[in-house]
Amino acid sequence: MTADAAAAAHLSALLGRFARAVAAHDADGFASPYTPDGRYHDGFFGVHEGREAIAAMLERFYVGGEAFDRGIAFTQLGYELPRIGKLLGRYTREFTASSAARAHLAARPDQAGRPPGDA
């Protein structure tokens, strides 16, 4: 096996591990491929630094990030925009009524990756 093929196989195995962790709701498994000071840049949840913060980001996804996926799914299913808005509006009202969801969102780092309350 060439060095390139070995590297590609390693990367493929690593991505598979990553995807399986997401599918299994395994936040620690999701964060484990990162170095202790690794950074994860998520377009929806922002920048997270360190395994603990990366794992916490995935936990927040399971509390509310699925709304993002619902919007995409509704679009792919061919729903009209007013219907998508109504469905996501209802979901948002239900979501924001949850104290657990509010606590997770309050813990979200800012866009620079700083924990809440850090200057």
CA 95 to each of CA 12, 30, 88, 110: distance values in angstroms, whole numbers, following the listed order: 35, 24, 10, 21
- What separation, in Å, do the N-terminal and C-terminal C-alpha atoms of the chain show? 50
> In percent, how much of the chain has pLDDT > 90?
18
Determine the longest span between alpha carbons in the chain, in angstroms.
55
According to the model, what pLDDT value does residue 38 have? 93
| Mean pLDDT over the full length of the chain | 76
According to the model, what pLDDT value does residue 73 have? 57
* pTM of structure: 0.52
Q: How far apart are CA 30 and CA 95, in angstroms?
A: 24
Q: How far apart are CA 13 and CA 54, in angstroms?
A: 20
Q: Looking at per-residue confidence, does 10 or 96 come out higher?
A: 10
User: 30-43, pLDDT tens digit by residue?
Assistant: 999 899 999 998 76
Asked if residue 84 lies in contact with residue 74, where contact means CB atoms within 8 angstroms, the answer is yes
User: 43-87, pLDDT tens digit by residue?
Assistant: 666 788 999 999 988 887 776 555 555 555 556 556 667 776 777
